Amino acid sequence: MAHVPKTPASRSPISAPRRMATYRQRMRAAGLRPIQIWVPDSRDPAFAEKCRQQALAIAAGDPAGDELMDFVDQVYEWPED
């Protein structure tokens, strides 16, 4: 009798926790480890303003501040006020 591979319809579904466990095992076997980090939400409207304030503070305290601010202005498109 020939071997007939299971089709996706005949396989029982694998639960999400089981799929995640299998994925984590593969990642660990590849020498990786999971980490979680929290970063600022760059979609928050206050984020751009805070970046701008920090850039201005750096520029005010740095003798090369004008050059730095010129660079920032060239590489970042400031939102309309």
Phi, psi values for residue 66, rounded to 5°: -60, -40
Give the model's pLDDT for residue 39. 93
Give the model's pLDDT for residue 5. 60
- Give the predicted TM-score (pTM) of the model: 0.39
Domain boundaries, the chain: 45-75
pLDDT tens-digit map of 15-64? 999 999 999 999 999 999 999 999 999 999 899 999 998 888 877 776 66
Give the model's pLDDT for residue 35. 93
In the structure encoding, which two tokens stand for residue 12, read together?
Answer: 């029982």
Judge contact between 45 and 51, C-beta under 8 A: no
Amino acid at 80: E
